[in-house]
Amino acid sequence: MSARRLLAPLLLAVLALAPATARAASLQPLGTFDQPIYLASDPESGERLFVVEREGEVVEVRGGVAKVFADLRPQVACAGKCSGERGLLSIALAPDFDASGRFFVDYAKNDDGSIHVAELTASAEGAPASTLRNVLTIPHAQAANHNGGQLQFGPDGFLYVSTGDGGGGNDEFHNAQNLSSLLGKILRIDPRPSGLLPYTVPQGNPFPAAPAPADAIWSYGLRNPFRFSFDRVGGAMVIGDVGQNAREEIDLAPRGGGAGVNYGWNCREGTIAGPATDAGCEGAPAGAFAEPALDYPHTAPEGSATKRCAIIGGYVVHDPGLPELAGRYLYGDLCTGEIRSVDLAAPGATDRSEGLALAELNSFGEDSCGRVYAISGAGLVARLAGAQPTACPPAPSRLRIRALSRRVRRGHRAVILAFLSPCPLTRRGAPVKLFRGARPVGTRRLDRACTARFNPRIVRRAGFHAAIAADGISAAAASRRLTIRPIRRHHRRRAHR
């Protein structure tokens, strides 16, 4: 029987574990869940949250009501208990989620340890497992720890994936420095199929000549980048890489950066020498490894008797309701549960405790309005809140346009879809106009999915855009330009006799 419930009295007892020091932020409970391990939100609505539970369920929370959105328990195969660090570890909703329903999951399968990145397609009722399409599989059978597990769409629109070094100790399987292995890495892919591959390798990846799938590697030399994120304003990638026996580290790559960067494990552990069991560690030239933005030792922080042991990476805060945290990177530690923040522009002098702690802190989450959440593996999910509540207005609807193909045989008809996202109930049935250049060529009404279908005949290259007028509730909207080119028919030449 599920123990999931919202705003239960038990939550306040868990919060009482936090230190009683003065603080700018507080933890406001969202609810209790079964082994929660991550949180994401609808890209168009911060009020629609998705809580990831380790054994395989994704729970949608909206308006104080929770319901199962996706059930991947058979695929994750934990059967009531996940081994080591395996399980469903994170999700990422596609930037066009409200129109396409696409979202992606990262799980380490419990029976054989294999890491899977897979796509599902959601409808109004949820995302059935029958829609699952495997995008990437990475063998990881030798140990049950160090799976990585973070998915994030970057500012460039591509999907980034973190993987651990394969587990065990001292990188005993020699993966992190091995560019033939996908373990101990950050990967960068376009999750759309390409040829025989279920994904596409984007241009700009640093190892394009490597045989697939190694050409998906973005950066390497990581031990267990369990959580990483992108600064929603500046675009920088910030990685919390879990250390071994001595140091925990935060790695930083500026917007668009990180391609081909070696973060040093197992030659380095934070700013000190690592176990150095790989050839190439000894005598590596200066600058061979990127230095962490911040690292810290496994000592107890001031005022605590508990030693730190594993960094939990978070987010650069841009919640207007938390001005004291503006632009600061929020992170924590699994063993102490303490929540801290640092200004990554001057990390040595700005690292501080926020006077908050959460038992079994195992992750942070961020919604589309920039509000930040802390997650306890014991069940609690809570939002960091300031004295004044943060307004999270619904995102304005945007009109988008796409074609099933941008090249059509001359004289044939194209298939053009115009779709409105988010999709307010009041907009269903509203007329949408399609324009060729400045001339209207057709009007269709939005269906229940806020989609209108057009079939213009293509004779010559043409630019199309769609527009919807304002009504008493919603503003007018227009799409970007879409260009469709005709393909000439090829006639077979007659042989001369």
- Asked whether residue 154 carries a pLDDT value surpassing 70, the answer given is yes
Domain of residue 113, CATH code: 2.120.10.30
- The count of structural domains within the chain is 2
Instruction: Judge whether 242 and 309 are in contact, CB under 8 Å.
Output: no
Residues 365 and 441 in one domain: no
Express as a percent the part of the chain with pLDDT over 70: 93
Report if residue 452 sits inside a domain.
Answer: yes
Report if residue 3 sits inside a domain.
Answer: no
Instruction: Judge whether 189 and 269 are in contact, CB under 8 Å.
Output: no
Q: Average pLDDT for residues 259-276, to the nearest whole number? A: 97
Report if residue 5 sits inside a domain.
Answer: no
Give the separation between CA 447 and CA 433, rounded to whole angstroms: 14
Give the separation between CA 427 and CA 444, rounded to whole angstroms: 13
Q: Average pLDDT for residues 151-179, to the nearest whole number? A: 96
Residues 280 and 418 in one domain: no
Please report the DSSP string for 420-489 in residue order. EES--GGGTT-EEEEEETTEEEEEEE--TTSEEEE--B-SS-EEEEEEE---SSS--EEPPPEEEEEEPP
Residues 365 and 442 in one domain: no
Number of Cβ within a 10 Å radius of residue 411: 10
Of the three residues 385, 408, 436, the one that is the final residue of a domain is 385
**Model confidence over 7-60: pLDDT tens digits?**
444 444 344 444 444 457 999 999 999 999 999 999 888 999 999 999 999 999
Segment among 118-127, 140-149, 241-250 with least mean pLDDT:
118-127
Residue 358: give the domain boundaries. 10-385
Residues 33 and 149 in one domain: yes
Residues 318 and 412 in one domain: no
Give the separation between CA 458 and CA 482, rounded to whole angstroms: 13
Report if residue 412 sits inside a domain.
Answer: yes
Of the three residues 385, 412, 437, the one that is the final residue of a domain is 385
3-state secondary structure of 30: strand
Residues 26 and 75 in one domain: yes
Report if residue 497 sits inside a domain.
Answer: no
Segment among 87-91, 182-186, 345-349 with least mean pLDDT:
345-349
Domain of residue 446, CATH code: 2.60.40.10
User: Which ranges constitute the DSSP H helices of 317-445?
Assistant: 347-350
Residues 336 and 421 in one domain: no
Residues 90 and 218 in one domain: yes
- For position 474, what pLDDT does the model report? 77
Record the tokens describing residue 398, joined without a space. 């945007």
Half-sphere exposure of 6 toward its Cβ, with a 13 Å CA cutoff? Answer: 11
Q: Average pLDDT for residues 90-99, to the nearest whole number? A: 90
Mean pLDDT (the chain) is 91
Report if residue 164 sits inside a domain.
Answer: yes
Residues 229 and 341 in one domain: yes
Residues 245 and 358 in one domain: yes
Short-list 279, 270, 268, 86, CA closest to 174:
279
- For position 19, what pLDDT does the model report? 44
Strand 482-487 relative to strand 407-409: parallel, antiparallel, unpaired?
Answer: parallel
Of the three residues 351, 385, 419, the one that is the final residue of a domain is 385
**Model confidence over 158-168: pLDDT tens digits?**
999 999 999 99
Report if residue 479 sits inside a domain.
Answer: yes
Q: Average pLDDT for residues 304-319, to the nearest whole number? A: 96
Q: Average pLDDT for residues 232-251, to the nearest whole number? A: 97
Residues 313 and 404 in one domain: no
Report if residue 446 sits inside a domain.
Answer: yes
Q: Average pLDDT for residues 75-100, to the nearest whole number? A: 93
Residue with tokens 């190439």: 280
- For position 5, what pLDDT does the model report? 47
Residues 403 and 381 in one domain: no
- For position 354, what pLDDT does the model report? 96
- For position 432, what pLDDT does the model report? 96
